[in-house]
Amino acid sequence: MQITVEALAHLLNGNVVGNGDVLLHTVAKIEEGTEGALSFLSNPKYEEHIYTTGSSAVLVSRSFEPTKFVATTLVQVDDPYAAFTFLLEKFANPAAQLSGIEPMSFVHENAKLGEGVYVGAFAYVSDGVEVGQNTKIFPQVFLGAKVKIGSNCTLFAGVKIYHECVIGDNCIIHSGTVVGSDGFGFAPLADRSYKKIPQTGNVIIEQDVEIGANCTIDRATMGSTIVRKGVKLDNLVQVAHNVEVGEHTVMAAQSGLAGSTKIGKFVVIGGQVAIAGHLQIANGNQFGGQSGVLGNIVDEDKKWFGTPVLEVRDSLRASAVNRRLPELLKRLEEVEKELKKLKNE
């Protein structure tokens, strides 16, 4: 990135307060700013740093009014955080500049690649694969037969997409993630052994989804496992067969969804949360870390915690009682002794 403050402000539809001719070539935290760097101020608790920052320019909200002298140039925008994110995507993403097919990759003759696609070394693109324009396929990615990948996607090194799975536009999948592996389906037999149930479905991931590193999203037994648009999955997340994850749901690391569970829209799932199979979770619910969900959640927009989950207020009360159990047990034993003594008398 190399751009003047004035040009940057024009790009962001912002206003310059200070020297618009300053040249910017990097980005930095506001407390770690250096000459030529652009920073942003969004959280008021960091305001003190704007008066001492070494950054040449800082993005601020249009309503920001300094209480001290500011040496740096300010760029006033509607939303500093969103504007800074836009700039990082536009200028600081090395993958955006990649294109072409590296010599040591394999692309089947029947595969269809859109304009601007990049395929890294040792990637394998199978028969019947379709890839949209400007998608980046990093080294050692595997795309199985008849996989469909949308436009402007990024598949980082080592991603595996099994046959017939579908990925929408503007998706990001990080290294080590497997999409379309077999669901955990086994039929118990009379001799107490298990017979594998063929997993004949696929996985559909809609647009604007980001999936962290080393996640697993299993294909459906029949039909599709579906991750709806805007979903964000952290690293090490497990989504089992025939699950449906609703729009704009977020899941933190080490969480798992058992088979055939349906998660609503805008659900927030903390780290290490386990949700049992064949459940329905209503829109907007939030689950604290390490919660265990064993039954349907039919009410919308509530907060839950604990195993099995209780509403947060009830869970905190139960925890308070639990902490007092040793004391209560001691008092109960003392009362029993007194009763025994009175009975003997």
Q: Which two tokens stand for residue 248?
A: 């704009």
Please check whether residue 340 lies inside any domain of the structure: no
Which structural domain, as residue segments, surrounds residue 66? 3-92
Residue 114 DSSP one-character state: -
Please check whether residue 322 lies inside any domain of the structure: no
Backbone torsions φ then ψ of 320, nearest 5 degrees: -65, -40
The number of folded domains in the chain is 2
Catalytic residues: 241
Element (DSSP H or E) covering residue 90: helix 80-91
- Tally the residues of the chain: 345
Last residue of a domain, one of 71, 92, 113: 92
C-alpha to C-alpha distance for 280 and 245, rounded to whole angstroms:
11
Statement to judge: residues 60 and 141 lie in one domain: no
CATH of the domain at 50: 3.40.1390.10
CATH of the domain at 250: 2.160.10.10
Please check whether residue 255 lies inside any domain of the structure: yes
- Cβ count within 10 A of residue 302: 15
Please check whether residue 82 lies inside any domain of the structure: yes
Q: β-strands 292-293, 244-245: how paired?
A: unpaired
Please check whether residue 323 lies inside any domain of the structure: no
Statement to judge: residues 79 and 201 lie in one domain: no
Q: β-strands 154-155, 112-113: how paired?
A: unpaired
Last residue of a domain, one of 76, 92, 108: 92
From its phi and psi, is residue 140 left (phi > 0), alpha (psi between -120 and 50) or beta?
left
Please check whether residue 338 lies inside any domain of the structure: no
Q: Which two tokens stand for residue 161?
A: 């997409």
Statement to judge: residues 83 and 230 lie in one domain: no
Statement to judge: residues 238 and 136 lie in one domain: yes
Statement to judge: residues 74 and 192 lie in one domain: no
Statement to judge: residues 177 and 256 lie in one domain: yes
Please check whether residue 341 lies inside any domain of the structure: no
Backbone torsions φ then ψ of 56, nearest 5 degrees: -75, -25
Statement to judge: residues 47 and 176 lie in one domain: no
Statement to judge: residues 46 and 103 lie in one domain: no
Please check whether residue 192 lies inside any domain of the structure: yes
Q: Which two tokens stand for residue 230?
A: 């805007």
Q: Which two tokens stand for residue 307?
A: 């195993």
Statement to judge: residues 131 and 55 lie in one domain: no
Question: Would you give per-residue pLDDT tens digits along the chain (345 residues)?
Answer: 689 999 999 999 999 999 999 999 999 999 999 999 999 999 999 999 999 999 999 999 999 999 999 999 999 999 999 999 888 877 766 676 788 999 999 999 999 999 999 999 999 999 999 999 999 999 999 999 999 999 999 999 999 999 999 999 999 999 999 999 999 999 999 999 999 999 999 999 999 999 999 999 999 999 999 999 999 999 999 999 999 999 999 999 999 999 999 999 999 999 999 999 999 999 999 999 999 999 999 999 999 999 898 888 888 888 888 888 888 888 888 888 888 888 887
245: CB partners within 8 A, 6+ apart = 226, 227, 228, 231, 239, 251, 257, 263
Confirm if 233 and 212 have CB atoms less than 8 A apart.
Answer: yes
Last residue of a domain, one of 58, 92, 126: 92
| C-alpha closest to that of 213 among 246, 236, 186, 245 | 236
Statement to judge: residues 236 and 287 lie in one domain: yes
Statement to judge: residues 112 and 243 lie in one domain: yes
Statement to judge: residues 158 and 256 lie in one domain: yes
